[in-house]
Amino acid sequence: MSQPQARYLKDYQSPDFTINHVDLDFQLDPNKTRVVAKSQIKRLRKDAKVVKLDGEDLSLVSVFVNENEVTHQVITREGGIDINVDLDEFELTIVTHIDPQNNSKLEGLYVSDGAYCTQCEAEGFRRITYFLDRPDVLSTYRVRIEAPQSFPYLLSNGNPLEQGSLDNDRHYALWHDPYPKPSYLFALVAGDFDLLQDEYQTKSGRKVDLQVFVDKGNLHKAEHAMTSLKKSMQWDEQRFNLEYDLDIYMIVAVDFFNMGAMENKGLNLFNTKYVLADKASATDNDFDGIESVIGHEYFHNWTGNRVTCRDWFQLSLKEGLTVFRDQEFSSDLGSRTVNRIAAVKAMRTVQFAEDAGPMAHPIRPESVIEMNNFYTVTVYNKGAEVIRMMHTLLGEAGFQQGMALYFERHDGQAVTCDDFVAAMSDANNFDFSQFKRWYSQAGTPIVRLQEAYDDKRQSYRLTLEQATPYTADGSAKLPFHIPVDMELLDRQGNSLVTEVLNFTQEKQQWTFEGIAEKPIVSLFREFSAPVKLDYQYSQDDLVHLLKHASNEFSRWDASQALVSSSILANVKRLSKGESCQSSPQLWEALQSVLQTQALDPAFIAELMTPPTFASLMDECEPVLVDELITARQYHIDTLAKQLATELDERYHACLQQTNLSGGEAVANRALKNTCLYYLGVLTDKQELVVNQYQQADNMTDSLAALHTANEHQLHQRQQLMIDFEQKWLQTPLVMDKWFTLQGKNPNKDMLASFDALLEHSAFALANPNRVYSLIGSFANANPKHFHKLDGSGYRFLTDLLIKLNDVNPQVAARLITPLIQWQRLDETRQQLMKAELKRLQSLPNLAKDLFEKVSKSLA
Ligand code: ARG
Ligand code: ZN
């Protein structure tokens, strides 16, 4: 095989042919499934005489053009076949055989725990049949599935047409999807499941059947998913005026799934992780995750399916917008502040690092080697931030007018990000031309701030400067249009000014008159733009903002800045051979947070949670790994000691709250468990951890206790881990939590225990959830061992990636991220990491997925 090649946005060409309708016929068989695809093809470009079809890992049986078998007109090439035909319209019939049982990549048609299922986005349909596997070819589908009766449910997109029995204990089902769709939205499922049924009446009065299919014995764990689906349908009607369009909506949960879920028209496929939940086995976070992913996939029905992407460079058209929608859904249903904090953490820890690393790309990438590598935090989460900025600039009403125009213009089409922005712009008469740089320029802008206060004139002048560091993709860095949501506060904590500034130049000034004393400025309220603010607030000012900023997110932001700056100051001390120092002002501020009764307990929990290692890494250059670990731990230990009494009081107060329900109970648990985490540091409080573990009647509380025992290496840890393992050995999703704790285990001998874990009866390299839990948590959340100076952590990850390269390259490519971000580390570690990357690079059969990341990071 030749070296993988990049494809470029600038080379986009509309298709020569299109497929208006396709009839698919599946004879399911584990190793030899027969697929007959009968496509109605139409020529779009007069001079086109070759139909170039995509195909991968298929065995071709026969090709017919209008019922005539053709052989010498068919040319096989890498990545597909070419068929010579000089006709304006014809029927093309292709027969192929595929091997779902041995499809460990989990792309195309594969077998998950005995059930057949599919994953076609982005380019998996070509692993089912030869096709025009590109999103700008929209076809209606009629699908016939034939299988043994031992697979009672035979499902595909759209509406069921008929079903019946056949000889030899076989049966069939026929489906029709009337909405033209690209091949990536095709889905098929065959298996035996438990089925939860319900229905929904749309606002115009149509009845929709709702079905959630889960593994046998798990029916009770499907309730929350069903409730979430109904909430999603209602929310989309209320907030976006969008109604569901088919008579049936199906969700199937499968164990083997590379990602979270997939929005196939009328037949969503989900990772079990985002469907199955009950109080005993799922945490509050899991419940929220399910609600949000169910929402996300449902919202795709309009933003993704009814209006889809012209080409894969436009992925953010549907993903950025749909993440924005699912974030709004969660915020409208739960706490807006807590949701916003979670979204910002993802940006600051993962997305900023992506911008600073070798895979940096704009939300609309310009070149791609392996499309699966671009389902990134940049396309998804930064994409959502870009939509959110438009929302900030237009307001809710203007934004909704833009959405309405977008659907009016483009329903049933495959379009571009430019089309979306044009609708927003035209509906509001708003000039987004500079704003569009967010689509083409990668990188995290850095905003610097200067202030000048004039006593006599009582005026305050704010000067902002923006600069975006060079990124690995080399995209241009012209000034961005940055909405700066800001507030001026006086010394008493009163709000003087709130405003959204349009910051469009490299350097820009604003003057505010009638300001009686030097104010304190709060910038990027609600994280109004995905930028870094480079400004050293004094501790006093941060405490002031923590107490008085009228935006809750800004208060949290101030608390983080306060804690981070204290930790980073200690990193500096440690690097000079000095010891860490404690800051009384910090403890006072946190003490008062902990004692405030009026605040939402979930918000207090956020304010008390220490910044993650990953977010601190982003503020430290180069990253002094050992110092950072020590200084962060020092913060945790000292906070626990300084606030022992208050933590204990608050913990017990939370414990007493036994008759809360819903969001209040969740918030109470969040605060209780944050307190427990600190109390676990104190020798005389460790009893509380064990007690909570033993008495917990829900997974949130038992896992929090176990997490505390694990993080602080309590002597009871081992015993609790064994107890948990025995209790949950047969529940894979819960074992994932156990594997995650093992991956994060700070114990000095942890790496030695890894071989046994890889051999554990509940572990399987072929299952992405297991791999992400054990290996992902190690590589991303165990800095002490992953970054060990003898290189053993890097070597261990690489050994695994080599195995995964053969089994499931897409999963391997997702896990490699921390290794390719070596640029941020010290010289010694850089060398060690690069040596491992070179080891990967020299593999004779390195998959495209890893090839792209390895070669970019070594370039
Ligand atoms: N569209 C799916 C979702 O957001 C994700 C599909 C991921 N596919 C992939 N090949 N990485 O919700
Ligand atoms: Zn999506």
433 in Cβ contact with 422 (< 8 Å): no
Q: Where are the beta strands (DSSP E) in 435-592?
A: 446-454, 459-467, 482-489, 495-503, 507-513, 520-522, 532-534
Ligand nearest to the CA of 261: 1
Average pLDDT of 56-83?
Answer: 97
Residue with tokens 């056949």: 166
**If you measure from the C-alpha of residue 121 to the centroid of ligand 2, how many angstroms do you get, rounded to a whole number?**
10
Average pLDDT of 805-809?
Answer: 98
Ligand 1 binding pocket includes 293 (Cβ within 6 Å): no
Residue with tokens 């740089």: 437
544-558 tens-digit pLDDT: 999 999 999 999 999
Query: Which member of 297, 385, 552, 711 is catalytic?
Result: 297
196 φ/ψ sector (left φ>0, alpha ψ -120 to 50, else beta): beta
For residue 645, give every residue at least 6 positions away whose Cβ sits within 8 Å of its Cβ, in sequence order, or none. none
Nearest C-alpha neighbor of 480 from the set 422, 528, 424:
528
Exposure string over 468-499, b if 16+ CB within 10 A, otherwise e? beebbbebebebbbbbbbbbbbbeeeeebeee
769 in Cβ contact with 736 (< 8 Å): yes
Ligand 1 binding pocket includes 317 (Cβ within 6 Å): no
**What is the Rg, in whole angstroms, of the alpha carbon atoms belonging to the chain?**
28
| pLDDT band per the 50, 70, 90 thresholds, residue 1 | low
Nearest C-alpha neighbor of 443 from the set 375, 368, 529:
529
**If you measure from the C-alpha of residue 274 to the centroid of ligand 1, how many angstroms do you get, rounded to a whole number?**
14
Ligand 1 binding pocket includes 137 (Cβ within 6 Å): no
**If you measure from the C-alpha of residue 401 to the centroid of ligand 1, how many angstroms do you get, rounded to a whole number?**
28
Q: Encoding tokens for residue 208?
A: 């929709």
Nearest C-alpha neighbor of 141 from the set 102, 103, 175:
175
| pLDDT band per the 50, 70, 90 thresholds, residue 621 | confident
**If you measure from the C-alpha of residue 502 to the centroid of ligand 2, how many angstroms do you get, rounded to a whole number?**
30
pLDDT score recorded for residue 2: 73
What span, in angstroms and rounded, lies between the C-alpha atoms of 317 and 309? 7
Closest-lying ligand 1 atom to the alpha carbon of residue 304:
1
Average pLDDT of 159-178?
Answer: 98
304-350 tens-digit pLDDT: 999 999 999 999 999 999 999 999 999 999 999 999 999 999 999 99
**If you measure from the C-alpha of residue 595 to the centroid of ligand 2, how many angstroms do you get, rounded to a whole number?**
40
825 in Cβ contact with 787 (< 8 Å): yes
Residues around ligand 2, an ion, CB closer than 5 A: 319, 322
773-805 tens-digit pLDDT: 999 999 999 999 999 999 999 999 999 999 999
Closest-lying ligand 1 atom to the alpha carbon of residue 380:
4
Ligand 1 binding pocket includes 98 (Cβ within 6 Å): no
The answer to whether residue 391 scores a pLDDT higher than 90 is yes
**If you measure from the C-alpha of residue 7 to the centroid of ligand 2, how many angstroms do you get, rounded to a whole number?**
22
Average pLDDT of 359-372?
Answer: 98
Ligand 1 binding pocket includes 122 (Cβ within 6 Å): yes
Q: Encoding tokens for residue 214?
A: 């889960």
Q: What is the DSSP letter of 184?
A: G
Closest-lying ligand 1 atom to the alpha carbon of residue 371:
10
Q: Which helix (H) or strand (E) holds 107?
A: none
- Strand pairing partners for 511? 461
Ligand 1 binding pocket includes 811 (Cβ within 6 Å): no
**If you measure from the C-alpha of residue 131 to the centroid of ligand 2, how many angstroms do you get, rounded to a whole number?**
23
- In percent, how much of the chain has pLDDT > 90? 99
State the chain's mean pLDDT as an integer: 98
For ligand 1, atom 11, the nearest C-alpha belongs to 372
pLDDT score recorded for residue 313: 99
What span, in angstroms and rounded, lies between the C-alpha atoms of 708 and 712? 6
Ligand 1 binding pocket includes 849 (Cβ within 6 Å): no
Q: Which domains are assigned to the chain? A: 1-192 (2.60.40.1730), 588-622+632-858 (1.25.50.10)
pLDDT score recorded for residue 591: 98
What span, in angstroms and rounded, lies between the C-alpha atoms of 260 and 274? 7
Within 10 angstroms of residue 376's Cβ, the number of other Cβ atoms is 23
Ligand nearest to the CA of 274: 1
183-227 tens-digit pLDDT: 999 999 999 999 999 999 999 999 999 999 999 999 999 999 999
- Strand pairing partners for 160? 175
Q: Please choose from 262, 268, 810 the residue to mutate so as to test ligand 1's pocket, defined by most ligand atoms within 8 A of CB.
A: 262
Distance of CA 704 to the CA centre of its chain: 23
The answer to whether residue 834 scores a pLDDT higher than 80 is yes
**If you measure from the C-alpha of residue 80 to the centroid of ligand 2, how many angstroms do you get, rounded to a whole number?**
27
pLDDT score recorded for residue 595: 95
pLDDT score recorded for residue 329: 99
pLDDT score recorded for residue 464: 98
In terms of Cβ atoms closer than 10 Å to its own Cβ (0-12, 13-18, 19+), residue 597 is exposed
419-441 tens-digit pLDDT: 999 999 999 999 999 999 999 99
pLDDT score recorded for residue 350: 98
Ligand 1 binding pocket includes 262 (Cβ within 6 Å): yes
C-alpha to C-alpha distances, 321 to 242, 304, 308, nearest whole angstrom? 14, 9, 12
For ligand 1, atom 5, the nearest C-alpha belongs to 262
Ligand 1 binding pocket includes 375 (Cβ within 6 Å): yes
Ligand 1 binding pocket includes 121 (Cβ within 6 Å): yes
Average pLDDT of 138-165?
Answer: 98
Nearest C-alpha neighbor of 775 from the set 748, 791, 799:
799
Q: What residue type is assigned to position 797 of the chain?
A: L
121 is catalytic: no
Strand-pair category, 80-84 with 446-454: unpaired
562 in Cβ contact with 546 (< 8 Å): yes
Q: Where are the beta strands (DSSP E) in 504-636?
A: 507-513, 520-522, 532-534
Ligand 1 binding pocket includes 372 (Cβ within 6 Å): yes
Q: Please choose from 107, 121, 322 the residue to mutate so as to test ligand 1's pocket, defined by most ligand atoms within 8 A of CB.
A: 121
C-alpha to C-alpha distances, 40 to 48, 92, 132, 279, 643, nearest whole angstrom? 16, 7, 12, 50, 72
| pLDDT band per the 50, 70, 90 thresholds, residue 97 | very high
Ligand nearest to the CA of 259: 1
564-593 tens-digit pLDDT: 999 999 999 999 999 999 999 999 999 999
pTM value > 0.95: yes
What span, in angstroms and rounded, lies between the C-alpha atoms of 770 and 768? 5
